[in-house]
Amino acid sequence: MEREEKAEKDIAPNVVNVDSVQEIERLNGEHWGSAWKPLTPLMDGMPGRLGANVSRVPPGRTACPFHTHAREDEIFFVLSGRGVFRYGDTIQEIRAGDCISCPAGTGVAHQLANPFDEDLVFFAVGLNDPHEVCTYPDSGKVLIRSLQAVGRIAEVPYMDGEGDEPKVLQMARRFRA
């Protein structure tokens, strides 16, 4: 019996009560950031798996920058409060009971914010794709998850910086001697 209890404590639970999950808060400056409670510990950190959390956006804050997803669909279900949902060139008020779908691969960016006086709380579901690429149209950034990099891409000719003689031919000289 003791062995079974220990084994149960050593694995992440299949059933998680939101009240037992510690909230993670990430705020930047006066207007950016949110908090969330991860609800799928058995799937977290496992590439390509579905994940879910309960997110909270405090008054006067925006959850994250305006962004697109190449590979990850997202669904948000508003549990309480009000907020605004920006999708492409449109913005609309959202409230408890609204379900928001953000399909991947459309090139249409989305963003959630809370310009109101009470917390915006929503249930979020999405994939965790290790090859995800996100773009941020307002700032010109790109996130490439597999490289663990966020930056800006400069347009250059395909052969820019390659030199007159390819490196492989320089290295292969030793085979001709």
Which residue do the tokens 């977290």 mark? 44
Cβ contact 124:73 at 8 Å: no
Which residue do the tokens 């390819």 mark? 166
Express each pLDDT in 2-13 by its tens digit.
555 555 566 667
Measured CA to CA, the distance from residue 119 to residue 55 in angstroms comes to 10
> What is the band of 31 on the pLDDT scale with cuts at 50, 70, 90?
very high
Measured CA to CA, the distance from residue 49 to residue 121 in angstroms comes to 23
Residue 96 per-residue DSSP state: T
Express each pLDDT in 116-166 by its tens digit.
999 999 999 999 899 999 999 999 999 999 999 999 999 999 999 998 999
Give the pLDDT confidence score for residue 44 in this predicted structure: 74
Give the tokens for residue 38.
Answer: 């991860």
The pTM for the full model equals 0.84
**Cα 80 off chain centre by:** 22
pLDDT (average), residues 63-67 = 98
Express each pLDDT in 66-110 by its tens digit.
999 999 999 999 999 999 999 999 999 999 999 999 999 999 999
The CA-CA-CA angle for residues 85, 147, 40, to 5°, reads 55
Full 3-state SS string of 44-87? CCCCCEEEEEEEEECCCEECCCCEEECCCCEEEEEEECEEEEEE
- The domains of the chain are located at 2-129
**Cα 100 off chain centre by:** 15
CATH number at 2-129? 2.60.120.10
